[in-house]
Structure formats: structure tokens, C-alpha cells
Amino acid sequence: MSFVTVCRLGNITRAAEALYISQPALTRQIQELEQELGCQLLVRSTRSLSLTENGYLFMLRAQEILDLAKQAKNELSENGDILHGVIRVGIVESKIMDYFADAVVQFNKKYPHVQFEVYSADGDDLKRNLDENKLDMALLIEPVESAKYTKIPIEVTEKWGLVIREEEVSPKKKTLSYEEIIERTLILPRRYIVLSEISSWFKVPESKFKVIAYHNLASNALIMVEKGLGSLLCIEGSFTNRPREGLRFLPLSPERTTSHVAVRKKNRKLSKPCEIFWADIEQYFPVRK
């Protein structure tokens, strides 16, 4: 706790005040920790502190331990008729967020003491966090290739298309053909499995695309489109979640759509609030039978 507080505040004096101990006592604690670990964690100067490479690694692990301790405390305190705790959900950038927000509203009416921790990223990042037990469950775009997850298919579909500057296309244009897209400079998703699927749609290897950049979330990629660096191939929800003036989303022709899936690790017991939310997913989302 002391080391993480020092890292967060970047100053021994302020950290000592936050921890209600003296500055010499806190300095001694950090020195003893460095001696115990056999490496330097902090680089001290007259005005500030900075982390060494070892210090940064130790800070990450220490924060993980504190987060797990907090989670365990919440889970152990589940008792009586009052359900409380934290449900950690990873969500891709898509229209699924509208459904999830409605689900939180409904769940909160029944269990007002339960909190949600929402993490947005692409599917690869979300699966990695699931594997490391940093998330309880995730809402992903298909395809999801791994067999190590329990899955619930969700019938919330997204169209694939291209985000393009309005000035580059006629206002009457409603779709883009595969041939038109191949000729453009593109910004593509970084996920290998998605890139493979896109290549199969266009019937050309990935190497044939004119790619200026890859992205994990559309937020920054849309700015690149604004600047004229290229056109963003993505699902519609990635654009409609944060539309930007001067840009348009044009669906592919022939049309390509994808669905969502809710996933959790197999054989992993979750906290009581998580298990209840997972069991009720079909109430909150249109589920594919």
C-alpha cells in the first residue's frame, strides 16, 4: 500500500501525509522494501520521484494484489438479504453498449448496492484480461476462436462498412463495393482472426490491402480518417457511438454482418453478483438459440 501510494502521488511528503505517517518512516519503509527485493525501485531527485524498470513492474503487481484483496473483501462481505460487490465487464465498442447500459439500469433496480466496473478494449485485450482474472465476463464481437470460454451467443448484429470523409464521396452514395474498398488506403482492426475473415470476404490476401495503420479501438482511428490518412474499415457501432462531423459510414456491398457473444472462463466460479448477472443475461440481451 505504501509503495503504491508513493507511485500514485509521485512525492514522499504527500504520500506520508496521505498515509498518516512521518516522512522518515515512509522513506525507511521504501528503503527496506528495496533491500528485501534486492533492486532499486525509485529514482530520487530533489523535486520528484520516478520509477525504475523494476519499480514499474513491482508497482503493477502490487496494484493487482490490492485490487484482488478489494475484490475478495467484497465477495466475503456478501451476506444476508443485501447483495453488493463489483461486476467487472469488458465490452467492445459497438451497439452492444446500449443494451448493456439498459441491463445495468434494470439490475441496479433490483440490486442497488452492486457496482459495475466497465473496461473497453478490442477482443484480444478483453480475452487476455479474462485469462488473467481481471475481468469476470466480456461482451465480444464474433468470431471468438478460443474453446476455453463459456459462451452465450447474442443476437445483436452489426454491419461492416467504411468510415470515409464526406468530401470524398457523392452524397447519393449508399454503399461501397469490395472493389472500391480494395483501391483505398485503409485503417484496419489489428485482431488477426478478424483480418483473416476480412481477407476471406474480399478473396485477397491481407498483403494486397493498402494499409496505413492498424487499430485496437476506433476512437483514435476516426481522427486519422479526419486528417485524410485513410478510411476506417469497421462495424457501424464503432462509428455511431462517437460520430464525427464530416465523416460518413458506408456499408459494404454485398452486406457483411457480425453478431456478439457473452463469454466467461470455463470452470471459474464468480462472485454472487456476477453469477446472478450471468444467469440473467437472457433477460437483458436478445439471445440466439
pLDDT 10s digits, 236-264: 999 998 888 999 999 999 999 999 999 99
Mean pLDDT of the residues in the chain: 88
First to last CA, the chain: 47
Say what the pTM is.
0.71
Residue 278: pLDDT band with limits 50, 70, 90: very high
- Fold category of 2-76 in CATH: Arc Repressor Mutant, subunit A (1.10.10)
Position 81 pLDDT exceeds 70 = no
* Grid cell for residue 84: 453488493
- Fold category of 158-257 in CATH: D-Maltodextrin-Binding Protein; domain 2 (3.40.190)
Q: Per-residue pLDDT averaged across 18-42, rounded?
A: 85
- Considering the chain, tell me which residue range(s) the CATH 3.40.190.10 domain(s) occupy: 84-155+259-284, 158-257
Q: In sequence order, what are the beta bridge partners of 252?
A: 176
CB 104 within 8 A of CB 115: no
Residue 74: pLDDT band with limits 50, 70, 90: low
Of 57-71, 134-148, 248-262, the range with the lowest mean pLDDT is: 57-71
- Fold category of 84-155+259-284 in CATH: D-Maltodextrin-Binding Protein; domain 2 (3.40.190)
